[in-house]
Amino acid sequence: MISAVSTCVHCGFCLAACPTYQEIGQEAASPRGRIVLMKEVLEGTLSIDEATPHLDSCLGCLACEPACPSGVSYRELISPFRALIEPKRSRTWGDRFRRTVAQLTLPYPGRFRIAAMSGKLVKPFASVLPNSLRVMLDLLPVRLPPKQAWASVNPAVGTRRGRVALLIGCAQSVLDPDINTATIDVLTRNGVEVVVPKKQTCCGALSWHVGNHAAAQNFARQNLAAFPDDVDAIVTNAAGCGSGMHEYPVILKGTSDHDRASSFRDRVVDVSKYLAELGDLVPVADTNQPIRVAYHDACHLANAQGVRSEPRQLLRMVPGLQLVEIADGHLCCGSAGTYNIDQPEVAASLGQQKAASVIATDAAVVATGNIGCMTQLSVHLKQAGSKIQVKHTMQVLSDAYGRSDGR
């Protein structure tokens, strides 16, 4: 952590890339400002409670990393620092309530489904509820999709070209399980056998990014044990999950599991990157149905994993699909894990701006690679009165293929 702090030369290139600096307009709400605050806390010249409001406002979107000429690894600072100080800081009752509810429900699909269904029942009374609870209710969909289950082994169609294990996600498997169904459909169509490990659990990112180190380590260890070694890759279809699994060596640093975590990380890849590198994909039939699709870069896909061109490459496979870019596409939509629960005002402003930029594309569909972004976009597009559909890149491709499951 100290070496990463010392790498920053305070040049200011990160300022233009940082959504919270653009939103709040304070030096302390910029990456270089937060690095100074972390340094002062570590040196004992600034109290934790003085620094934390500015550190809490960080999205963790990592837009600062590609903008930094000095190569500061901000990801090796913000989450480890939050883990270090979390046991020592004070929080309001509202903060504790939101965090406890999120940590006890979101990583567990069964609990989350029950909580979401319960939330729908009290949603009509949201105006009289505490803001800490109202914010969470606002993010719930009008209706939850039916539960879906996936076979432990989904055989490749035709000649097998690869074998992967798929992380199905926790909140995603409740809010939009069809993303996994579409992912399996696209992979198997292209000769890839898909294994769905039954003992897999939450990736741990939701805990790690808010400083719950013990929970993040527990989730990481469970997944190290659950995922098989005899696969070509561990495939993810949620940017936040993929990024979180890439951080397992940091989460488990100093433990006996570190080396195994490093080997595990090297096999984790986003599904769009896996397919693009697989190449020679089954062509999509031309249906003469033109469609205009905007692509939204999920921060933890573009910035954390460096996956930008691959989803666009896959979308361009679809005949008649006109791919359009979103203005200021590098700016975060405001989802960022549980950020839209923890920092609702900033998240809402960023969500409204992103929705306006999407609407300006005049697209029929906005595609992206992260369930958090999809939820945030759906909420703010609906609030803006837009009928633009929000879909995962794999859903767009599976639809174009004709959906072997008949959906």
Q: CATH code at 70? A: 1.10.1060.10
User: Of 41-55, 96-110, 117-131, 287-301, where does mean pLDDT reach its minimum?
Assistant: 117-131
Chosen domain end from 40, 60, 88: 88
Tokens of 116: 């979401």
pLDDT digits (tens, 9 = 90+) for 5-14: 778 888 889 9
DSSP 190-211: TTEEEE--TT----SHHHHTTT
Helices (H), 62-212: 64-67, 75-85, 93-105, 109-122, 131-138, 171-175, 178-189, 205-208
- Identify the pLDDT of residue 112: 85
Let me know if residue 268 belongs to a domain: no
Phi-psi region of 312 (alpha: psi -120 to 50; beta: other; left: phi over 0): alpha
CA 134 – CA 23 distance, rounded (Å): 23
pLDDT digits (tens, 9 = 90+) for 302-355: 999 999 999 999 999 999 999 999 999 989 999 988 888 788 889 999 999 999
Chosen domain end from 56, 88, 120: 88
- Identify the pLDDT of residue 9: 86
- Residue 404, pLDDT > 80, answer no
- CATH code at 395? 3.40.50.10700
CA 39 – CA 2 distance, rounded (Å): 8
Range of the domain at 362: 283-401
Beta bridge partners of 236: 270
Look up residue 223 and give its amino acid.
Answer: N
- Residue 226, pLDDT > 60, answer yes
User: Do 331 and 350 touch, CB atoms closer than 8 A?
Assistant: yes
Parallel, antiparallel, or unpaired for β 192-195 and 153-154? Answer: antiparallel
The continuous run of DSSP H or E covering 368 comes out as: strand 365-368
390 DSSP 8-state letter: E
Calculate mean pLDDT across residues 143-150: 89
Split at pLDDT 50, 70, 90, the class of 407 is very low
User: Do 190 and 159 touch, CB atoms closer than 8 A?
Assistant: no
> Residue 124, class by beta-carbon neighbours within 10 Å (0-12 exposed, 13-18 middle, 19+ buried)?
exposed
Split at pLDDT 50, 70, 90, the class of 133 is low
The continuous run of DSSP H or E covering 293 comes out as: strand 291-295
- Identify the pLDDT of residue 139: 74
How many C-beta neighbours within 10 Å does residue 226 have? 14
Let me know if residue 232 belongs to a domain: no
pLDDT top residue among 184 and 285: 184
Calculate mean pLDDT across residues 355-362: 97
CA 122 – CA 274 distance, rounded (Å): 42
- Residue 234, pLDDT > 60, answer yes
Let me know if residue 206 belongs to a domain: no
Split at pLDDT 50, 70, 90, the class of 187 is very high
- Residue 235, pLDDT > 90, answer yes
**How distant is the alpha carbon of residue 171 from its chain centre?**
11
Calculate mean pLDDT across residues 87-116: 82
pLDDT top residue among 313 and 144: 313
Let me know if residue 407 belongs to a domain: no
Q: How wide is the angle at C-alpha 285 spanned by C-alphas 283 and 289, nearest 5°?
A: 130
Let me know if residue 136 belongs to a domain: no
- Residue 368, pLDDT > 60, answer yes
- Identify the pLDDT of residue 132: 59
- What interhelical angle do 93-105 and 131-138 show, nearest 10? 30
Calculate mean pLDDT across residues 264-283: 96
Place of tokens 């989460």: 251
Chosen domain end from 65, 88, 111: 88
Let me know if residue 302 belongs to a domain: yes
CA 44 – CA 33 distance, rounded (Å): 17
- Residue 198, pLDDT > 90, answer yes
Let me know if residue 140 belongs to a domain: no
- Identify the pLDDT of residue 2: 61
Split at pLDDT 50, 70, 90, the class of 294 is very high
Let me know if residue 84 belongs to a domain: yes
pLDDT digits (tens, 9 = 90+) for 23-75: 999 999 999 999 999 999 988 999 998 999 899 999 999 999 999 998 888 99
- Identify the pLDDT of residue 406: 43
Total domains present in the chain: 2
CA 258 – CA 154 distance, rounded (Å): 31
* Most confident stretch, 80-94, 137-151, 280-294: 280-294
Split at pLDDT 50, 70, 90, the class of 96 is confident
Tokens of 260: 């195994």
Beta bridge partners of 323: 293
Residue-averaged pLDDT of the chain: 90
